[in-house]
Chain A
């Protein structure tokens, strides 16, 4: 094998320019492929973190019909018993009850439909990172009466600012319309402008007072280990009646689809790139075989077995391709690390529009070890497949004819 490795390595460098061009193509292909994948991974991971860390959390508890009907009467039964249950569960890092209602928000200028999210500021702060999205003013722990937190987009639409009053109108527990004025204490901005336009945050106690009861429609649960979520939801569903506890991927199947797709993205991207590179490898190996017909014939004539000749050609292809791949992977590793730290600001390239879909305009590429390993496997498989035809061609040589030519 050592002999085959030695001869294969030297054969590659018979034509440094030709091998160099192919290696350059492999380096560029790997660099571009992993970077595109890392960019998408970064987007997906940021989107995932935004949704999980800021809003959905790992699991939620609702009335079984709340998510479809969204009526005030469909609150979580025995919410305080659930809170006690969660307090005693070592898997649970934090939880927060939320009182929710759909209604209208009015400013002196205009009105808009919104989802009103009543939260316990202290618990919410421990459970999610939403408070970090406040870009102006204060979070709900302000001393002012009936504080309300509005999205930046909504403040623009309503033409209001910190300190202004707005009126919320919604149905109470008796299905009667009720209204109250709230004082804008802060403005938030998330990665999703539609979310900023449709959601307002108030204190749960203020909303409960207006609804007419101390009720919660949602319990958001954050775990120490995301992988334990199925066990926690199972335990909750078994322990309590008239509630449904669901994991984040049940609550947001599209998020799961996106993360699953992200996991396989490297295979699709590198698959396409490797398919293109396979023709380059095939061409290079065929040229190498055609110009060495006589030499290969001589090797067969003097007693080199066909298996060894076959292995030699396969090794040449793999070594040539892997050499480029290693350089490409190192270059990519440093590029992804650098950009993962600094981020890629896509605002100047229309990246702001990504916020319409809930994606950040500043992306921090992420490449996983699995991406690098998958790439190496794809490179080796491509090199082997591309070399099979040239290798078979070499095996069909008739040494008696070739050495005489």
Chain B
């Protein structure tokens, strides 16, 4: 069963003045455990698609369902709550809270979810260890390299035990070694913990590792290739 479904998803920016069709009738299904890349040139609609799936933007037409729940049209408060409990985000610019340590950045989302203090501690330490940052729990973002910051961001995205993780150009600011290490780590999470990852990227290194590659052109799905089935569920 698909955990994410988009139905005739369309987005038009500036409909009154100079209309820009960012998405055109996008119909997609994502299964649990997928490791999927959405590729395409700049302006092809990759990020817009991810924003729609993540409930960060509203479509002009069509709708998105996550786990059978229609998130399009939800009230702001419901949507924020939904994102908190169902979706993990990894951004191109890491977007960590600079005044928090790595440990606090990861546990922050669990604080919002009102986790038990001890369980939160165990989970945050477990995740930071899993992303290779044992010994750097107390480091602040500016004390970490770009690759390390993105690892903290991945740990943060995983902390709330989301249904899936949306990663927008996660490797764009990383050197090759850091990018490969990050991808290794995410692939491991995907295989071992069945975490669903959906990337938007035009980084060939990411595309090469994906098991499903969706190519977008001018806001429409140009190609949807499954290299081989996802590890579980798909």
Q: Is B47 an interface residue (CB 8 A)?
A: yes
Say yes or no: B108 contacts A3, CB within 8 Å. Answer: yes
Q: Is A49 an interface residue (CB 8 A)?
A: no
* Contact residues on B (Cβ < 8 Å of other chain), bracket: 20 to 34
Stretch of A38-46, A92-100, A150-158, A298-306 contacting B (4+ beta carbons < 8 Å): A298-306
Say yes or no: A399 contacts B97, CB within 8 Å. Answer: no
Most chain A C-beta atoms within 10 Å of own C-beta, residue among B56, B57, B76, B109: B56
Say yes or no: A298 contacts B95, CB within 8 Å. Answer: yes
**Contact A303-B80, Cβ < 8 Å, known A398-B57, A399-B56, A404-B47:** yes
Inter-chain CA distance A298–B166, complex, in Å, is 13
Nearest-neighbour CB distance to chain B for A2, whole angstroms, equals 9
Most chain B C-beta atoms within 10 Å of own C-beta, residue among A303, A304, A306: A303
Q: Is B18 an interface residue (CB 8 A)?
A: no
Taking CB atoms, residues of chain B closer than 8 Å to A3 are 108, 111
Q: Is B28 an interface residue (CB 8 A)?
A: no
Contact digits for A318-357, partner B, Cβ 8 Å, 1 yes 0 no: 0000000000000000000000000000000000000000
Say yes or no: A305 contacts B99, CB within 8 Å. Answer: no
Name the contact of A294 in the complex, choosing from B51, B89, B95 (C-beta under 8 A). B95
Total interface residues on A, CB under 8 Å, equals: 24
Nearest-neighbour CB distance to chain A for B17, whole angstroms, equals 17
Say yes or no: B99 contacts A303, CB within 8 Å. Answer: no
Nearest-neighbour CB distance to chain A for B88, whole angstroms, equals 8
What does DSSP make chain A's interface, helix, strand, loop or mixed? helix
Say yes or no: B89 contacts A7, CB within 8 Å. Answer: no
Q: Is B83 an interface residue (CB 8 A)?
A: yes
Say yes or no: A300 contacts B108, CB within 8 Å. Answer: no
Inter-chain CA distance A152–B51, complex, in Å, is 88
Within 8 A of A (CB), among B62-84: 76-77, 80-81, 83-84
Say yes or no: B97 contacts A404, CB within 8 Å. Answer: no
A interface list, Cβ under 8 A from B: 3, 7, 10-11, 13-14, 294-295, 298-306, 308, 398-401, 403-404
Interchain residue pairs A-B with the least CB separation, the first 4 = A303-B84, A400-B56, A10-B99, A298-B95
